[in-house]
Structure 1
Amino acid sequence: MKILMLGAALLLPLAAHAQNAAPRGRAAATATQNGSLSRHLEAALALDASLRALEAQQTAAGARGVTARSAIAGPPSISGSFRSDTRGPRDQREMEMDFSAPLWLPGQRGALSGTVTSSVAEFGQRIALRRLEVMGLLREAWWEAAEARRSVQFARGRLGTAREIARDVSRRAELGDIPPTEALLARNETLAAELGLAQAQAQADQSVEAYRVLTGGLEPNLPVEVVRARRAHHPALLAAEATLAHAEARQRLVAATPRDNPELGTFLRQENGVGTNDATSIGLRFRLPLATEARNAPRRAEAQSEVTRAVALLAQARRLVEAEVARARAQLAASEQTLTLARQRLSVANEQEQIALRAFRSGETGTFDLYRVRQLRLEASNEEGRAGIEANRARSRLNQAMGVVP
């Protein structure tokens, strides 16, 4: 009996639909899959601390836009002073109040606005990349659970056939057709199958629980993924490009800020006292810091190093994405070929087992020969089920390599 790969609760329908109903069935399965994947992904992302941190950093980066939209380059300031003659404040005194604000340098405001925009965009792409990373964790956890559940179904099938053969062996041993030692062989195989089922069920429970921890309690009951068409831009490439754009924006800001911001202020001065005419004066103050190479050279070098690093990381990301896609495609082709061969082997093994079972029941062969043929069929069935899981896992990994996120 051929063991189902994932169990009835996890498999897509295996029976062929009528030709006119197949497109509707495929469309419905795809829609269900997309909805389930999206729901499970959002549940996992809601628990992901790294994503929450990136979103908070994006909000903080956007808050810097308030400065770029301001009419002045920074917060204004108020200062004051008071002076008195050595004879005492009653004889002669002077008070001064000062209000000043930093001014934008030519092109500085636009350059700062560019860094804000590029920073927000960079964090947006990093968030998209993190979604892909969490989707990768979700896919791997799903297929681990699927493989564990397949092992449970296989173990149940093994136990069922072991009990069936054990009943035939026990009946023939009672009739004296075969020696009692062969009945012990059947009993031993049944116990081994029961042990295998218990171990497989424990592993499946652990894998399912790991998936539930990742998604906050959702069960791994997604349908099999299909390979999607490759997207024009991979999230890793978009994130690297956004990092480069932000580094270039920072470089432009450094070029537009060769000196600290000048300041323009107004002051109010009042003088009075004995022997002094009371006077009040108003004036302007202007402060212009000078550009020096000691200030600007380190800033230019640091900005250039960020651009150089971003360019190198973008080139590396392109190579890695292309290599990962090529590797995933090769893995999918190999796994599909393996699945085809495993199915052919299982078909032959099933036929061998049926022949051996009929021969055993008619007394033409012994118990040991039957179990040897049965073991071959069990191995073929296990390999076919595992090959099916690996083929589906390879499809998911190809989607992951191409940056597909539902």
Structure 2
Amino acid sequence: MRARRLSLYIAGAAIVLPCLASAAPPANLKTVVEHAWSRSAEVRTLEARQEEAAAARSTAQSWIAGNPTVGLAQRNDRSPSLRDQRESELSVSAPFWLPGQKSARQAWAARSTDEVAAQLLQARLAVAGEVRIRFWEAAAAREVLAEKDDHLHHLEQFADEVQSRVKAGDLARSDGLLAQQEVHAAVVALAMARSQAAQALARYQVLTGTAELPPLEPEPLREPADGVNARLAAARATESRALAGLRLAEATRSESPSLAVSLRHETENNLAEPNRSIGIALQFPIGSKARNRPAESLAQTQLATAAAEAAQAAATVASDAALAREQVAHAEAALAAATSRAAAMHEHKALLEKSFRLGESSLAEVLRSNALSHEADVAVRQQRVALGAAHAQLNQARGLLP
């Protein structure tokens, strides 16, 4: 019986130890979240969007509205005359902002930068939420595994005592077989718990890159420092960027006008010296409200969508926070009840085991009491994990990082 248990320990160690050796133990949950964030694919996308927003702000600060152009023209007189006229022209042109266009583009670029920053915080919060879920799943599986192991250890000791009494003739052989059956059932339950714990740990390791769990302690409950949830802040930032996009579309009803400066150089046989001249040209594109209506309609649609999503985010954040607070209260009450039940069941088990040794109780009663006591201990461990998960859920609902 002990040899079988030792073989199970060796098999479990063969599964778990390679995972534990793959990474150094993290200091706390915050460190684990940082590991998971560095492994997230969304980080690269948002970093690219940061570069895009920075480029947009740089463009909006420029005094020209677009890329300048350089032109070169050359003309020769091919008529059958003796003038031999030649003309060369070099020109430089650049678009410039209309009144209100530059400020509108600067505002849009600034709101885009704020949106990316808010989305970065929201993405980090989402990663923290996944880590919290996987961590408490693995913690729950580990607690169940520990309780199954303790239960098997107790049943083995009890079965050894029963076998000794069977050999001494104090108990029937059927009692010894019943005790052994309970041990075999506990071995199966321990193997299943070990498998579930390994699966939960593997999911946690894929997300975080480490197989070591932080200390199993509930997170301190906190309130957001600025009172704004990260998810709600991201939704409002998107709405602000959409509003700035509408203002930009309204300010850009035509292409930007352009200013061109040219230098002309003319030579002719009849002229003693070349003729040089400087020219300035302005070009004003003709725009209309009808021409710009598709762009404005698209911006209005984006604004309406962003406003609806912001309102939905506000309702969701409030609902999630209220539900999470209720879950914390329920978990605290359930833990208190489970702790009281476990204490009562342990006392009951001790009395029945003493009575069994005195021959006043049956083996079935003792095994029944052991099973109930084991269930009570499992419930206490599960409720402790549930309380820690509830704390994590409430902090997550409030938009707080570990």
Q: Same fold (TM over 0.5)?
A: yes
Structure 1 residue 397: deviation in Å? 0.6
Structure 1 residue 399: deviation in Å? 0.9
Structure 1 residue 35: deviation in Å? 6.3
The structure-2 alpha-carbon separation of the partners of 1:35 and 1:160, relative to structure 1 and needing over 3 Å to count, comes to closer
Match of 2:58 among 60, 66, 74: 66
Q: After superposition, what is the alpha-carbon deviation per residue over 1:204-226, rounded to whole angstroms, capped at 9, x for unaligned?
A: 22222322222222511234123
2:278 is matched with 282
Q: How many equivalent residue pairs?
A: 373
Alignment of 1:87-166 (within 5 A): 87=79, 91-166=84-159
CA contact (8 A) 1:259 1:292 kept: yes
CA contact (8 A) 2:68 2:94 kept: yes
1:208 is matched with 201
Match of 1:330 among 326, 329, 332: 326
TM-score (norm 2): 0.87
Structure 1 residue 86: deviation in Å? 4.5
Structure 1 residue 270: deviation in Å? 3.2
Q: Does 1:171 align with 2:167?
A: no
TM-score (norm 1): 0.86
Alignment of 1:2-41 (within 5 A): 36-41=28-33
State which drifts further: 105-114 or 235-244.
Answer: 105-114
1:369 is matched with 365
2:313 is matched with 317
Give the superposed CA RMSD. Answer: 2.1
Match of 1:184 among 171, 177, 182: 177
Q: After superposition, what is the alpha-carbon deviation per residue over 1:288-346, rounded to whole angstroms, capped at 9, x for unaligned?
A: 01121232211221222222112111111100000101111112222222222222221
Match of 1:352 among 344, 348, 355: 348
* AA partner of residue 134 (structure 1): V
| Inter-partner Cα distance in structure 2 for 1:135 and 1:102 | 47
* AA partner of residue 252 (structure 2): T
The structure-2 alpha-carbon separation of the partners of 1:88 and 1:398, relative to structure 1 and needing over 3 Å to count, comes to farther
Runs of 4+ in 1 over 6 A off after TM superposition: 274-277
CA contact (8 A) 2:86 2:268 kept: yes
Percent identity, aligned pairs only, is 35
Q: Which runs of 5+ in 1 are unaligned?
A: 1-33
Structure 1 residue 389: deviation in Å? 1.4
* AA partner of residue 330 (structure 2): A
| Inter-partner Cα distance in structure 1 for 2:368 and 2:233 | 56
Q: After superposition, what is the alpha-carbon deviation per residue over 1:26-62, rounded to whole angstroms, capped at 9, x for unaligned?
A: xxxxxxxx96222111111111110221122112211
CA contact (8 A) 2:86 2:266 kept: yes
Q: Which runs of 5+ in 2 are unaligned?
A: 1-25
**1:166 alignment partner, SS class:** helix
* AA partner of residue 226 (structure 1): E
CA contact (8 A) 1:227 1:398 kept: no
| Inter-partner Cα distance in structure 2 for 1:180 and 1:64 | 85
**1:209 alignment partner, SS class:** helix
| Inter-partner Cα distance in structure 2 for 1:223 and 1:200 | 18
**2:98 alignment partner, SS class:** coil
| Inter-partner Cα distance in structure 2 for 1:88 and 1:384 | 109
Q: After superposition, what is the alpha-carbon deviation per residue over 1:377-401, rounded to whole angstroms, capped at 9, x for unaligned?
A: 1222222221221122111111111
Structure 1 residue 84: deviation in Å? 3.4
